[in-house]
Amino acid sequence: MMSTPTQTQRKEVFIVPRWAGAPHDDWYPWLGEQLQAVATEDGFDYQVHTLPMPAWDLPVIERAVRYLQEVLPAHKLNSNVYLVGHSVGCLAILHYLATIAKANPKAPQIGGVLCVAGWFSVDSPWQEVLDWMHAPIDYEAARRLIPKDKLIVLLSDDDPYTSGYQNNEQLWVERLHSQVSILPGRQHFSAQLDFDVRDAVRDLAGAISAPVLG
C-alpha cells in the first residue's frame, strides 16, 4: 500500500492581471489548472486566486492598493503566500508591498513574487500610464517583504510596449535586486499558456530548482 503524506503544505498564489485583464484572460486560468496538475508531484496544495482588480480598464494606484490590502491584509501574509503580477500588475504589487511594509514594520515576509512583463516605462504612454510611471515607490520597503532570491522577473526581447527591455532589466536589478530572465519572442506574455510562468511559480514555491532560461 502506498503511503500518503499526512499534511500537504498549502501554497496561496495571487495573480494581479495586466491592464484591463480579467481572471479569465491570457494564461491565468491555465496556470491554475497546471499547478493543480503538478500539485501531487510537487507535494503542495496550490490555491490560485486571480484577482478581479477594481476598474482595471483604467487602473488607479490608490484603488489597487486599497483592494489588495482588503484581500491580503498584513496579518494574512506568510511564507506560503506568492504574488504573481502581469504588466501593470507588477507595479500594483510593489506599491501594495511598500504600503504594507511601512504601515506594519513587523509584517512577515511572503514566499516570493513573480513579475511577468513588468515595466517601469513604456514606449508610448498615455496619461493613466504616466501616472503609474511617475508615482514613487519605496523599493526598499517593498523588498523587505520579499526573501532574497525570491523576486523573479520575466521579460521578452520583443515586447511591443517596451522596446527598451534592457533598461527595464537594469532597473529591476538595481532597484529590487531581482532575478531577471529575458525570453525570446514572447511579446507581452499574453498567450493562453506559458510554461515558463508555471515553472517560475514552482521555483518560487521550492518545487523545482532549475533556472528559467534567459
pLDDT confidence of residue 14 = 98
pLDDT > 90? residue 162: yes
Cell of 44: 503542495
Q: What is the mean pLDDT of the chain?
A: 93
pLDDT confidence of residue 7 = 65
pLDDT confidence of residue 13 = 98
Tell me the percentage of the chain whose pLDDT exceeds 70. 94
pLDDT confidence of residue 140 = 98
Cell of 54: 477594481
CA distances from 198 to 8, 13, 27, 53 (A): 20, 11, 9, 21
